[in-house]
Structure 1
Amino acid sequence: MRKILVVGAGQSGLQLALGLLSHGYEVTLMSNRTADEIRSGRVMSTQCMFDTALRHERDLQLNFWESQAPKIEGLGVSVAAPGSWAEGPAARAIDWVGKLDGYAQSVDQRVKMAGWMETFAQRGGQLVIHGAAVGDLDYFARTYDLVLVSAGKGELVSMFGRDAARSPYTEPQRALAVSYVHGLGPRPEHPDYYAVRCNLVPGVGELFVMPTLTTSGPADILFWEGIPGGPLDVFNGVKDPAEHLSLTLELMERYTPWEHVRTAKVELTDAGGTLAGRYAPTVRNPIGRLPGGGLVLGVADVVVANDPITGQGSNSASKCAASYLASILERGEKEFDGTWMQETFDRYWNTAQHVTKWTNAMLAPPPEHILNLIGAAGQLQPVADRFANGFDDPSDYENFFYEPEKTEAYLASVTTGA
Structure 2
Amino acid sequence: MIADRYDAFFLDLDGVVYVGDRQTNGAASALDRLRSMGKDIRFLTNNPTDGSEIVRRLKELGIEAKEEEVVTSGTATARVLADRGIGPVWVLGHGGLRKAMTDAKLSLAEAPPCEAVVVGWDDDVTLGQIRRAALAIRQGALFVATNEDPTYPSSEGILSGVGVVVDALIAGSGTRPLSVGKPWTAMFEQARRTLAPGKRAVMIGDTPYVDVLGAHRAGIDAILMGSAETYPGKLDFRNPDGRIDKLGDLFDDAISMGVWDSPTYPWPESVEPGVAGVVLDESGRVLLMRRSDNGRWGIPSGHVEPGETVQTAVVREIREETGLEVEVEELIGLYSDPVSQVITYPDSRICHFVTSCFLCRVMGGSLITSGPETLDAGFFDPHDLPEPLMSMHPRWLADALAPSGRPFVR
TM bracket, shorter-chain basis: under 0.3
Give the TM-score of the pair, scaled to structure 1. 0.26
Greater C-alpha radius of gyration: 2
- TM-score, reference length from structure 2: 0.27
For CA contacts below 8 A with separation 6 or more, give which structure has more relative contact order. 1
Structure with greater helix share of residues: 1
More strand by share: 2
